[in-house]
């Protein structure tokens, strides 16, 4: 078994004339945080859709936990241990916070309980309760997910994607629309998740990326521009030009620390 | 060889022409449905009843001494008013809710139920058969064809072309297509979206009413006439692609020809299931239909 | 640990109250039905017994529509396809195979599992309004086919289906007895209701609600929405067909009109007036519609105008339907009683 949990090899997809992702290869090490950065339209979200089974690649392979999972359906991938969160909060807004988490934890139950009363699904219930505590949502358990604040919904979004106890989590802009304080605590939380969990992260906040990541992949116009440790990527002249050059304001003095 | 020509001339040709007459009428119905769906995302379950209402208005006016030709212009205008009012009073009420697809479908379904009994109440359950406005028949390439059917094909084609021009070649049509493509963008560009919606619904309803007037002399007028016809129109809209004018025209011609010619080989009672079967098949393998939707190319 | 216990209590209390409200709503319906049976039994009436039995049978069809619409978010405009299918299979079995209640029910069930799966595979490829249209189209095809197939009676349907005695070991019910068959139908329908109410409170049933609420997230919970929807579709087909299987026992005949759009449409009206997503609402909706028809029917034959108007008003002003408004009140009552106890 290799050190990499996820291996992407020569991945490509086009929509008409647009080459959304072309010949992309990288690996994500077990237990680490790998970030994908790049300007808007670089193909980051398409990459997530390809890896999570929402889109089928036209070329290339995806290997997960030693198995070739290219073209697997989303639900099969999830059961293999690959979960994802969404940039635009994608919850069951008409259902309670508890029910959101219970539904997401249902996959932990043996198949035989699918047609027994839901009260018998104790594993799912326990997991949902655990996550409510872990994400500070216990007081909101019986409220509708749609009635939560934006920050709470973002937390629930991550909690839902963690419910199945995945091996790997794809996090799509977890700090989207958050205040500075919330962003810091979310970053700390993500850091705490790594280790047992392998994380692939898309994030706009460059400080968060630089502080959290073990490995950074820089995408530009669908292709890989560079990859390496945060320091290596930051020092890369091409990246400077294509990415940091466009957004010098994104760089802060604190981010220079090695 | 001669036999083949004779078969073509005397067996197929009348069937093709009959199919064309039905096809043109079905396309007029389907255009209304597909334009309403393309812009408002509304499945108008009462479309068949608007068609019947057009026919009833036509025979009522003719009975009062109004000429058929005046009716042909007058009824669509009246129907447009009814359509405009329906959109503002009913569709708009539920248009901004999350379940608007289902709610508008249910509302127009309710309207259809009411309309059918209103027709029975006002006109009785028996069919009316108006006199043909153009009696007689002409010989075309040795085949005898009723004059009115020939007129229907010509007039229908002209209307279809006119609709095409309105939607694709005028600024009015551009507004409608803009509103269909992106409601908010269109609104910020100064398109009066609410009125465009109501106007489009009115336009679709007027087309249904017009087909009612045109078809009354061929098929008679009776309370459930819309129900029998709407299935065919829905099939055409689905096969053509919901919201596509081009698709509706192609599918309308093809499906009515299939129906018409297949009835030479199988009992006519089986040609309806055949057409619905094609519709179901299309929904299965190509739910977007032959062509894309209005505003989306 | 104490906090976790409080949390669990809060969640469980909410679910208990919701369950209590639903049970109460169904219980009230049964009480009304039994009160009607006593009253009609005392007056020796036959006509209203038969009418009420028919209302119950159509309520079963509405129940299946609600299972799809209220729980899975799929509007079926052709549910009469399965209702009529059940009625025909049951009628054919009773007439040609064996005049046995259990044979009719059993064969209908088996045949519907097959036909429901095939129709489901065809239908659930389509989403949203396309699903509504494909079910509409399928039912129309079936209607025309049955209407034109002379082997099963064509437009006349099948008449002369024998009356039977339904054997239940300790006792038996004659389908000819108005009171007996009414009570049998009531029990049968309550079993179907209980089955549906049970189903929607299982993990599989909760998944259907998840699909209605946000289908796009469901694959990321580890489930195929396609399979879940097929499951719901077949379950609803079975409920509709089993309801239909009682029809020939009541009327002694079946006709192609049982598959017609009017029947499907009526079932949707019942669900909307009764309350979408409540299951018990289907029964109230059917009762209301049947009563309206017979009351208005004594004044005019054009009852559809009133029913259509009521339906539209219900869609615009009372989209939750009767049960949708009654349930929160019943739940508050249940909560208060529990609070006192």
Task: Give pLDDT tens digits for C255-267.
Answer: 999 999 999 999 9
pLDDT at C341 over 70: no
Contact C203 A104 (CB under 8 A): no
**Quick one: A156 and A224 in the same domain?**
no
Each residue's pLDDT tens digit, B145-202: 788 888 988 999 999 999 888 888 888 778 777 777 777 777 777 778 888 889 999 9
A250-253 CB contacts, 8 Å cutoff, 24+ apart: A250/A206, A251/A206, A252/A207
Each residue's pLDDT tens digit, C33-83: 999 999 998 998 889 899 999 999 999 999 999 999 999 999 999 999 999
Q: What is the per-residue pLDDT for A240? A: 79
User: Is A154 within a domain?
Assistant: yes
Mutate to test the interface with A, among C218, C221, C231 (most CBs of A within 10 A): C221
- The minimal CB distance from C206 to the residues A52, A90, A103 is found for A103
Q: What is the per-residue pLDDT for B293? A: 52
Q: What is the per-residue pLDDT for A253? A: 38
**What is the tally of structural domains in chain A?**
2
pLDDT at B125 over 90: no
Short-list B102, B280, A99, B43, CA closest to C69: B102
CB A32 within 8 A of CB A214: yes
Torsion of CA B280, B281, B283, B288, to 10 degrees: -140
pLDDT band at A258 (very low <50, low <70, confident <90, very high): very low
**3 state SS of C277:** coil
DSSP C39-105: HHHHHT-SHHHHHHHHHHHHHHHHHHHHIIIIII----S-THHHHHHHHHHHHHIIIII---HHHHH
pLDDT at A2 over 80: no
**Quick one: A172 and A251 in the same domain?**
yes
- Compute how many other C-beta atoms are within 10 angstroms of the C-beta atom of residue A22: 18
**Quick one: A153 and A185 in the same domain?**
no
Q: Is B121 on the interface with C (CB under 8 A)?
A: yes
**Quick one: A174 and A157 in the same domain?**
no
**Quick one: A67 and A185 in the same domain?**
yes
Each residue's pLDDT tens digit, B18-54: 888 888 988 999 999 988 888 788 889 999 999 999 9
Q: Is C98 on the interface with B (CB under 8 A)?
A: no
Averaged over A240-252, what is the pLDDT? Answer: 56
Each residue's pLDDT tens digit, B47-77: 999 999 999 999 999 999 889 999 999 999 9
Q: What is the per-residue pLDDT for A144? A: 94
Averaged over B249-275, what is the pLDDT? Answer: 85
Contact A107 C222 (CB under 8 A): yes
Full domain range(s) for residue A68: 1-81+166-258
- The minimal CB distance from A138 to the residues C7, C15, C217 is found for C7
**Quick one: A71 and A117 in the same domain?**
no
pLDDT band at C1 (very low <50, low <70, confident <90, very high): low
**Quick one: A226 and A258 in the same domain?**
yes
pLDDT at A247 over 80: no
Contact A164 C221 (CB under 8 A): yes
CA C287 to chain centre: 12
CA B249 to chain centre: 11
Domain residue spans of chain B:
25-222
Q: What is the per-residue pLDDT for C340? A: 67
The percent of residues above 90 in pLDDT, for chain C, comes to 71
DSSP A63: E
- The minimum CA-CA distance between C293 and chain A, rounded to whole Å, is 36
| ipTM for the whole predicted complex goes beyond 0.90 | no
Q: What is the per-residue pLDDT for B295? A: 44
C-alpha–C-alpha distance, residues A22 and A32, integer Å:
25
pLDDT at B2 over 80: no
**A→C interface, C-beta within 8 Å:** 52-54, 73-75, 78-79, 83-84, 86, 90-96, 98-99, 102-104, 106-107, 109, 113-119, 121, 124-125, 129, 132-133, 138, 141-142, 160-161, 164
Place of tokens 């959101």: A100
CB B46 within 8 A of CB B112: yes
pLDDT band at A255 (very low <50, low <70, confident <90, very high): very low
Short-list B109, A147, A155, A27, CA closest to C265: B109
Contact C222 A116 (CB under 8 A): no
**3 state SS of C284:** helix
Each residue's pLDDT tens digit, C64-74: 999 999 999 99
Contact B113 C308 (CB under 8 A): yes
Q: What is the per-residue pLDDT for B275? A: 84
Averaged over A113-130, what is the pLDDT? Answer: 91
Instruction: Give the DSSP H/E element, type plus range, for residue A129.
Output: helix A122-134
The percent of residues above 70 in pLDDT, for chain C, comes to 99
pLDDT at A249 over 50: no
- The minimal CB distance from A141 to the residues C7, C203, C223 is found for C7
Residues making up chain A, counted from first to last = 258
Contact C133 B284 (CB under 8 A): no
User: Is A86 within a domain?
Assistant: no
Q: What is the per-residue pLDDT for A161? A: 95
CB B102 within 8 A of CB C315: no
C-alpha–C-alpha distance, residues B160 and B151, integer Å:
14
**Quick one: A138 and A253 in the same domain?**
no
Averaged over A41-53, what is the pLDDT? Answer: 91
Domain C19-340 matching CATH 1.10.3470: the answer reads: yes
**Quick one: A153 and A174 in the same domain?**
no
Q: What is the per-residue pLDDT for A245? A: 57
User: Is A251 within a domain?
Assistant: yes
C-alpha–C-alpha distance, residues A78 and B87, integer Å:
45
- The minimal CB distance from C137 to the residues B43, B280, B287 is found for B280
**Quick one: A41 and A125 in the same domain?**
no
**Quick one: A51 and A160 in the same domain?**
no
pLDDT at B284 over 80: no
Short-list A3, A41, A65, A6, CA closest to A200: A6
CB B19 within 8 A of CB B236: no
> Is B205 or B260 the better-scoring residue by pLDDT?
B205
CB B37 within 8 A of CB B241: no
pLDDT band at A246 (very low <50, low <70, confident <90, very high): low
The percent of residues above 70 in pLDDT, for chain A, comes to 93
- Maximum Cα–Cα distance across chain A: 60
**In chain C, what residues touch A103 (CB-CB under 8 Å)?**
206-207, 210, 221
Contact C305 B121 (CB under 8 A): yes
pLDDT at C247 over 80: yes
Contact A113 C14 (CB under 8 A): no
Place of tokens 């700090």: A175
Q: What is the per-residue pLDDT for C72? A: 95
**Quick one: A143 and A28 in the same domain?**
no
pLDDT at B115 over 90: yes
C171 Cβ neighbours under 8 A, 6+ residues apart: none
C-alpha–C-alpha distance, residues C110 and B89, integer Å:
47
Q: Which chains touch A (3 or more CB pairs under 8 A)?
A: C
């Amino acid at each position: 078994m290799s050190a990499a949990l996820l291996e992407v090899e020569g991945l490509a997809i086009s929509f008409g004339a647009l080459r959304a992702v072309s010949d992309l290869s990288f690996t994500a090490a077990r237990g680490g945080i790998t970030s994908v950065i790049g300007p808007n339209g670089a193909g980051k979200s398409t990459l997530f859709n390809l890896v999570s089974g929402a889109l089928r690649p036209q070329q290339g392979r995806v290997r997960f936990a030693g198995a070739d999972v290219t073209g697997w359906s989303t639900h099969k991938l999830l059961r293999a241990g690959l979960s994802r969160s969404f940039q635009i909060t994608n919850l069951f807004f008409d259902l309670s916070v508890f029910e959101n988490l219970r539904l997401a934890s249902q996959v932990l139950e043996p198949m035989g309980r699918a047609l027994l009363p839901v009260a018998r699904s104790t594993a799912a219930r326990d997991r949902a309760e655990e996550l409510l505590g872990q994400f500070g949502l216990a007081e909101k358990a019986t409220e509708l997910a749609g009635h939560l604040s934006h920050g709470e919904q973002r937390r629930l979004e991550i909690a839902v994607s963690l419910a199945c106890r995945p091996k790997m989590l794809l996090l799509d802009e977890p700090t989207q629309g958050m205040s500075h304080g919330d962003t810091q605590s979310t970053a700390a939380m993500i850091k705490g998740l790594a280790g047992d969990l392998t994380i692939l992260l898309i994030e706009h906040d460059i400080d968060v990326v630089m502080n959290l990541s073990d490995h950074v992949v820089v995408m530009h116009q669908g292709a890989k521009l560079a990859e390496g440790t945060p320091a290596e990527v930051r020092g890369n002249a091409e990246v400077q030009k294509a990415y940091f050059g466009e957004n010098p304001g994104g760089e802060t003095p604190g981010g220079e620390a090695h | 060889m001669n036999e083949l020509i004779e078969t073509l001339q005397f067996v197929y040709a009348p069937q093709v022409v009959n199919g064309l007459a039905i096809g043109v009428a079905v396309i007029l119905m389907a255009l209304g449905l597909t334009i309403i769906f393309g812009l408002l995302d509304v499945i108008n379950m009462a479309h068949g009843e608007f068609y019947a209402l057009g026919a009833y208005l036509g025979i009522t006016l003719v009975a009062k001494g109004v000429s058929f030709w005046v009716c042909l212009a007058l009824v669509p205008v009246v129907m447009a008013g009814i359509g405009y009012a329906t959109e503002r009073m009913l569709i708009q009420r539920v248009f901004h809710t999350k379940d608007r697809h289902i709610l508008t479908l249910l509302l127009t379904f309710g309207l259809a139920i009411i309309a059918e009994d209103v027709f029975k109440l006002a006109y009785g359950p028996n069919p009316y058969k108006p006199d043909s406005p153009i009696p007689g028949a002409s010989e075309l390439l040795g085949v005898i064809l009723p004059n009115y059917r020939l007129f229907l094909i010509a007039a229908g084609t002209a209307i279809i072309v006119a609709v095409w021009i309105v939607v694709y070649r005028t600024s009015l049509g551009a507004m409608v297509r803009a509103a269909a493509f992106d409601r908010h963008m269109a609104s910020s560009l100064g398109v009066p979206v609410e009125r465009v919606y109501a106007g489009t619904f009115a336009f679709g309803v007027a087309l249904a009413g017009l087909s009612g007037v045109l078809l009354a002399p061929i098929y008679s007028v009776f309370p459930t006439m819309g129900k029998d016809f709407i299935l065919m129109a829905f099939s055409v809209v689905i096969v053509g692609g919901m919201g596509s004018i081009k698709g509706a025209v192609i599918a309308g011609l093809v499906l009515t020809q299939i129906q018409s010619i297949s009835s030479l080989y199988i009992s006519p009672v089986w040609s309806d299931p055949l057409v619905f079967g094609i519709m179901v098949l299309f929904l299965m393998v190509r739910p977007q239909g032959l062509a894309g939707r209005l505003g989306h190319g | 640990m104490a906090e976790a216990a409080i949390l669990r209590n809060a969640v469980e209390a909410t679910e208990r109250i919701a369950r209590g409200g639903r049970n109460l709503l169904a219980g009230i319906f049964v009480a009304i039905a039994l009160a009607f049976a006593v009253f009609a039994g005392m007056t020796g009436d036959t006509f209203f017994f038969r009418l009420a039995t028919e209302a119950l049978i159509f309520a079963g069809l509405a129940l299946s529509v609600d299972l799809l619409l209220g729980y899975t978010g799929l509007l079926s405009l052709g549910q009469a396809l399965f209702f009529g299918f059940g009625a025909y299979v049951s009628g054919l079995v009773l007439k040609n195979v064996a005049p046995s209640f259990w044979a009719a029910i059993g064969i209908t069930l088996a045949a519907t599992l097959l036909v429901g799966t095939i129709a489901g595979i065809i239908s659930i490829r389509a989403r949203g309004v396309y699903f509504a249209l494909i079910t509409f189209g399928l039912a129309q095809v079936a209607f025309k086919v049955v209407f034109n197939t002379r082997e099963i009676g064509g437009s006349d349907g099948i008449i002369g289906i024998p009356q039977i005695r339904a054997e239940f070991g300790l006792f038996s019910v004659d389908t000819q007895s108005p009171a007996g068959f009414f009570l049998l139908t009531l029990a049968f329908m309550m079993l179907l209701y209980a089955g549906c109410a049970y189903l929607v409170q299982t993990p599989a049933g909760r998944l259907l609600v998840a699909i209605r609420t946000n289908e796009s997230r469901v694959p990321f919970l580890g489930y195929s929405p396609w399979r879940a929807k097929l499951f719901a579709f077949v379950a609803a087909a079975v409920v509709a067909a089993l309801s239909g299987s009682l029809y020939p026992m009541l009327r002694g005949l079946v006709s192609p009109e049982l598959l017609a759009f009017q029947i499907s449409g009526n079932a949707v009206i019942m669900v909307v007036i009764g309350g979408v997503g409540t299951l018990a609402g289907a029964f109230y909706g059917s009762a209301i519609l049947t009563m309206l028809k017979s009351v208005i029917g004594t004044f005019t034959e054009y009852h559809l105008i009133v029913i259509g108007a009521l339906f539209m008003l219900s869609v615009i002003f009372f989209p939750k339907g009767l049960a949708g408004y009654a349930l929160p009140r019943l739940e508050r009552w249940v909560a208060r009683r529990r609070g006192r106890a």
